[in-house]
Structure 1
């Protein structure tokens, strides 16, 4: 996928080489050094794209729902854009819970409630004749985590189901 202007991936590899070219890298928007492992730049690039595709999937699903009633994407985006921007504000809290493992701390809307909400969204999706294929796998993860006794925790706990475990290859 082509990158937006000034959005080159942050570099990794030789620190002296990075330091020698910091001015050029800043001009490209890539002034953050990721470490000596040259593969870290590619890994971060893929992870950034993964986040982008998740965002796009949410946009496509939400837009398909309102499109089922004849509402145009540009019209709906006037509501969805600010909503998604506001939801981005939740990410630092999720990052803290992921890093600390504290998925049960400061829970506002627990996983069991979120699973019920997502079930309702998927029911409405089916009733509107819209494909459930983008959100159904997320509900499966919510249910799995809830069934394992974590329904009172935050949805950030879903991370524990998808993260790589020591010795795991997949």
Structure 2
């Protein structure tokens, strides 16, 4: 079977990594970038350079765009709307759920297949099946092109709502920054007593597997809207965080992050929910 032809529009670091992965998998790959010189290395590896966006779009059934922002997507693709008709557009540009839904509506209006996605890795991780690429939009289009998209990373189908890729992306980045913040605070705390970060992190990453188990159970509580404190109550965790704050103060560590957690816990206690599980704190964020 002949490999599917692909077009990649936008050759920043991420776009270049995407095109490289398609080339490495044997897909005939056409590339376009506003600055033509950015395509030189890819052309040397076998890509075809398109002189215009129209030429790029018409070269392939599957068109992948990864540019700076939603405004750039619109600027580049609006003039070639008719050339895109009947093709499949995979938008891997970072944006908001609202922007993704608007792009999907525009595509549907003009007979363009549309998938919106989020690359959940940095450019060096593209092409590794251990890393997720999230997709949202037509399940039929996702199924039809899944094998091709899998060369970029593990393709995860989020369903027909085109906005969910961006929504998950934003939420997962928020989770990442929160984990990084907690880890850095903890590493500073342990480091104050001479513990190397690599040694503390070896234990911390094992602990995160247990934390993920807690999260899975708490997700069931959140969806049910019931927060039984059978494992550990917020009252117990208020007491426990006091030890963390004391240790930080004694070592001159900035405690603003755990103090935020304590504020959220106390708000739940003050509202009469001290006997509930930590999952109850989602109600603080919903306000």
Q: Who is 1:2 aligned against?
A: 122
1:40 aligns with 2:160: no
Q: Who is 2:263 aligned against?
A: 140
Choose from 116, 124, 138 the match for 2:239. Answer: 116
Matched-pair contact (CA < 8 Å) for 2:137–2:161: yes
When structure 1 is superposed on structure 2, of 39-48 and 80-89 the one drifting more is 80-89
Matched-pair contact (CA < 8 Å) for 1:12–1:35: yes
3-state SS in 1 of match to 2:150: helix
Q: Rate the CA distance shift 1:16–1:103 in 2: closer, same or farther, 3 A.
A: same
Q: Who is 1:50 aligned against?
A: 174
CA deviations 1:91-125 (Å, max 9, x no partner) are 11111111111212x52211011011112211211
1:127 aligns with 2:127: no
Matched-pair contact (CA < 8 Å) for 2:132–2:155: no
**Unmatched 5+ stretches in structure 1:** 165-170
Q: Which runs of 4+ in 1 moved over 4 A?
A: none
How many residue pairs end up in the alignment? 163
**TM-score (norm: length of structure 1):** 0.86
When structure 1 is superposed on structure 2, of 4-13 and 123-132 the one drifting more is 4-13
Q: Who is 1:91 aligned against?
A: 215
When structure 1 is superposed on structure 2, of 147-156 and 30-39 the one drifting more is 30-39
- The structure richer in helix per residue is 1
The CA distance in 2 between the partners of 1:82 and 1:33, in whole Å, is 28
Two-structure CA RMSD over aligned residues (Å): 1.9
**Unmatched 5+ stretches in structure 2:** 1-120
Matched-pair contact (CA < 8 Å) for 1:118–1:139: yes
Matched-pair contact (CA < 8 Å) for 1:9–1:45: no
When structure 1 is superposed on structure 2, of 85-94 and 129-138 the one drifting more is 85-94
Q: CA deviation at 1:17?
A: 2.3
Q: Who is 1:157 aligned against?
A: 280
Q: CA deviation at 1:30?
A: 4.1
The CA distance in 2 between the partners of 1:16 and 1:91, in whole Å, is 31
CA deviations 1:34-78 (Å, max 9, x no partner) are 233322111111111122222211211110101111211012123
**TM-score (norm: length of structure 2):** 0.53
